[in-house]
Structure 1
């Protein structure tokens, strides 16, 4: 064996020490070894290599003499610069910044041309309210299809190739939308743009987790999460003025220009952060240098790409089917998300028809949703961590006094604001609907949309953080299941929006939506009260 390989094996024990020093949570994450890691789980914590090796993974050990095996390829030492955790701050900022910017642009594209839809229908001689809605919401059907494919691909071939390929596809289909010769082609191109655009939303959390240690990850993820929240709100505001000044096609030209810019930047600054791929490349290099075909990455679990893809692709569906917590939260999130996009796709028609807003001003009607969303983010971010820490401390104190086992932080501690959001949602719909029906000053329905914005964010954040805490190693699959279901709802429910208002009016139309939301109110309380029981009774194993 060459000096390079000898040096590698001599340093293996140092690298192993780095692995064993991980926190209990990170050691727990290694339970996912046999399936690799989900998209938002740190990829560098180490795998066991086969069924027998998994005996003591919760303790951070294995039953084999793995650390003395000269054919196992691992980090050279705990300071190995190839390990993404050891990258410079500059490189981490550049990588996280690119992904976060993409995560802002992609959701923005979902709604930016909503104010220009009347111009689209006029150009293509269509009067169908369903088409007016679908041409906006079809983008979300692409969002629904993407995660099932892109998350496994990023774990087989790496994050960066998926980002680059999808960035090029996103830009290409924005150009296609700008040049669309017919309404049908525009709808098809919008779907494909969403399919490619969902990559940073699907895999961005994984990229951050690959590089940022857990104790610092919350802040970075908070910044990353701003994009998906503000993108759909900022889009219509900018799109209204752009459609009026340059026409609806320029919305897509702007997206193509901005997307093309970040694509070029990513080509120069992005580095692969997924540890299994990095170590596999290192292993292949060492095999060529040493002619030792027995070398294998410590993170190689022996699955072929097709087998791994199949397992990863069906895991979100299995969670949805067999875990009541996942299915209930997915269905409830889909209701609130569908309502959000009903508003996105109908507000242009509502404020132009009822209040006479021009194309350039109608985008400003979305400010209520934007302000409400920001208030929701502020409320949740300033209270959630403090509340969970306080409840965990109280529970530990009681356990200490009674001599029972300390359980620490429960995922259910993330849920106290869920009922608040569930109540605000129907209240906002009532305030949005009836003042619009009687043409009360436009500020009143905008305040109503602000309340629905707060409600949506509180529901969304509560459920998202709950799923992450509840499913740890399979958090990405639980989130993927939630994303797929809510994106389908966001793509299809709006098709009924304008027709609903046409038949029932704005008052009773929004009241019907509010009554349905009220019927779902018990769901929030059921999850809050019985979530732990459901999790433990229907625990999913061997995914």
Structure 2
């Protein structure tokens, strides 16, 4: 009978898949091991020959061309199992296929309860990014400010925190596990939400919003890995879809709630609401959540057994020799190199960053547009965000269905290449400028309110259809280093989403809503050729690549 998934040698593709879900590169040990045979700090000394071989593998890991695939000399094929010293008596592993310490063996209720809890946290923190957008005029009045740039920055500074917080949270989670990071970041998120609610001046408010974003990004860094820890490959897709609803729909639902909350209780209650819900989820996580990271659980087990048996040679099967400095390097330096030296990573990241910035331009201006053009008042203003939210939701489902259909067709033919992911992106590329022209001129001419709302729905659909294929393309191209490519993309898009909207009010005042959104539409028209060019020339670009880490 075949060995259970956790008791057979994992293939390279399985390790890469898990590493991507966990948010790190595949040369860092995942729950199934590492694609490189990295010795543990506690392992016995090796012979000179073994050390030499280890150095060769390490060199291959650093110097290989990251866009050309994995060399045969340093990697096994997708079908060949990766042996992690399973027969070594000093290697600590699970106590059989039914070991209750293994998160994969948790009860159905415990596993899916954890998934629901982290999905709720991941929904709340992106929701908080835009929830108070309808209350921005009240905030400006409270702090006696008329600075248009500051008015936009109040909303987008939260996303700036997304650029910096996860870069530190990710390596810390590899060293100390997921649970301490969940607890500490949830607690700090609650603290800074309360601080924002009681801020006494604009400077305090902006700083607290930024810190909310830094720590609010934790569940988006850790959530995918937690799901991979708990849920088998067959059921993981369903859990990932539920979890991804947070980053996709949360920012669009937030202003709808915030619009009515601001009218009923004032803008500060948007933050009290977030703090109360986040506090309840934090208490639930303290009570219900347990550590799920297999490398951390096994390292604790090995440490305990070394103390009990006085055998210093015992080591976890998933142990790594990566130092904190190495983890810092992988988390910060490698993404920076990929962003500056890889044509593919740079082009896709710029495309994603510009489209993501458009989302926050709309978030920061919807309230003003529908108040001035349509004279919407009170909580009804928050409903102006509904179009882009529904469009994003439809876009997510459309990409999942048609994207998988296209990819599966090519896999069945045996001719799949990463560029096949970009077919859906071509559709999104056309929808985005059409939606911008539609929304801009409908708002300018003050047509019936449903017309611009439909335009924003098309924008939301186009954003998702462009964003999701570009992200999955980076995963397919960079495989082993996919997490670094996505980190590079995340930093650039967060910076653009925080800074570009600062000039949106001035743009609309100078050009009007019609020509202002047309300018954005013309920029997105200029981006349309990018997926077509990569479909045609992407394979050649990868073949000629000289990017090394």
How far off is 1:540 after superposition? 5.5
1:94-109 → structure 2 map (5 Å cutoff): 94-109=113-128
Deviations 1:315-339 (A, max 9, x none): 2222222322211111100010001
Aligned with residue 153 of structure 1, among 172, 179, 186: 172
Tell me the matched-pair count: 513
User: Match for residue 528 of structure 1?
Assistant: 535
Q: 2:14 aligns with which of 26, 34, 43?
A: 26
Cα 1:17–1:457 change in 2 (3 A) is closer
Find the aligned partners of 1:301 and 1:377 in 2 and give their Cα distance. Answer: 37
Deviations 1:28-79 (A, max 9, x none): 66999xxx953999821123234736566553345x9x34432222222333
SS at match of 1:415: helix
295-304 or 221-230: bigger deviation: 295-304
1:142 and 1:118, CA in 2 relative to 1: closer, same or farther beyond 3 A? Answer: same
Relative to its length, the structure with more helix (as a share) is 1
The equivalent position to 1:372 in structure 2, one of 391, 404, 417, is 391
1:537 corresponds to 2:544? yes
- 2:466 corresponds in structure 1 to 459
1:480 match = 487
Could you say if the C-alpha distance between residues 16 and 375 of structure 1 is closer, same or farther in structure 2, counting changes exceeding 3 Å? closer
Q: Distance in 2 between matches of 1:251 and 1:42?
A: 41
Say if 1:41 and 1:473, in contact at 8 Å, map to a contact too: no
Deviates more, 1:296-305 or 1:284-293: 296-305
For 1:230, what is the secondary structure of its paired residue?
helix
Distance 2:239 2:297 in 1: 23
> What is the root-mean-square deviation in Å for CA atoms of aligned residues?
2.5
Written as runs of structure 1 = structure 2, the 5 A alignment for 1:336-485 is 336-394=355-413, 396=414, 409-485=416-492
Q: 1:514 to 1:278 in 2, by over 3 A?
A: same
In 2, the alpha carbon distance for the partners of 1:477 and 1:136 equals 27
For the Cα contact (< 8 Å) 1:352–1:362, is it kept in 2? yes
Q: 2:439, 2:179 → 1: CA distance?
A: 43
Please report the TM-score for the alignment, with normalisation by the length of structure 2: 0.88
Tell me if structure 2 keeps the 8 A contact 1:334–1:490: yes
- Asked if 1:172 is matched to 2:194, the reply is no
CA gap of 1:535–1:89, structure 2 versus 1, over 3 A, is: farther
**Are residue 215 (structure 1) and residue 234 (structure 2) matched?**
yes
Mapped contact 2:125–2:216 kept (Cα < 8 A): yes
Structure 1 range deviating more: 288-297 or 248-257:
288-297
What CA distance in whole angstroms lies between the structure 2 residues aligned with 1:300 and 1:144?
29
How far apart in 2 are the matches of 1:370 and 1:279?
42
Stretch moving more, 257-266 or 411-420: 411-420
Task: Tell whether 2:294 aligns with 1:287.
Answer: no
Distance 2:355 2:251 in 1: 15
Q: Secondary structure at the match of 1:412?
A: helix
Q: Secondary structure at the match of 2:423?
A: coil
Quote the offset at 1:27 in angstroms: 5.1
User: Relative to structure 2, which stretch is displaced further, 506-515 or 375-384?
Assistant: 375-384
Cα distance between partner residues in 2 of 1:512 and 1:480: 29
Distance 1:330 1:274 in 2: 29
For residue 305 of structure 1, the aligned residue among 302, 311, 324 is 324
Partner SS, residue 355 of structure 1: coil
Query: Is residue 476–residue 482 contact of structure 2 (8 Å, CA) maintained in 1?
Result: yes
Mapping of residues 216-365 of structure 1, within 5 Å: 216-365=235-384
Structure 1 counterpart of 2:31, from 5, 28, 44? 44
Offset of 1:15 from its aligned partner? 9.2
How far off is 1:82 after superposition?
A: 2.0
Whether 1:181 aligns to 2:200 is yes
**For residues 239-265 of structure 1, what are the alpha-carbon distances to aligned partners after superposition, in whole Å with 9 as ceiling and x for unaligned?**
000001100000000000000000010
**Equivalent in 119, 124, 132 of residue 113 of structure 1:** 132
State yes or no: 1:60 paired with 2:81: yes
- CA deviation digits over 1:286-317, x for unaligned, max 9? 01101122222222222333333333332222
**Cα distance, 1:370–1:40 mapped onto 2, change above 3 Å:** farther
CA distance in 2, matches of 1:431, 1:40: 47
Separation in 2, partners of 1:239, 1:30: 37
8 A contact 1:159–1:272 mirrored in 2: yes
Distance of aligned partners of 1:245 and 1:28 in 2 relative to their CA distance in 1, 3 Å threshold: closer
Q: Is the 8 A contact 1:41 1:476 kept in 2?
A: no
Q: Distance in 2 between matches of 1:225 and 1:416?
A: 22
Runs of 5+ unmatched residues, structure 2: 40-50, 58-73
1:188-232 superposed Cα distances (whole Å, 9 cap, x missing partner): 100000000000111211111222233322221111111111101
In the TM superposition, 1:498-509 aligns within 5 A as: 498-509=505-516
Change (3 A) 1:497 1:27: closer
What is the correspondence of 1:188-199 to structure 2 with a 5 Å cutoff? 188-199=207-218
CA contact (8 A) 2:91 2:315 kept: yes
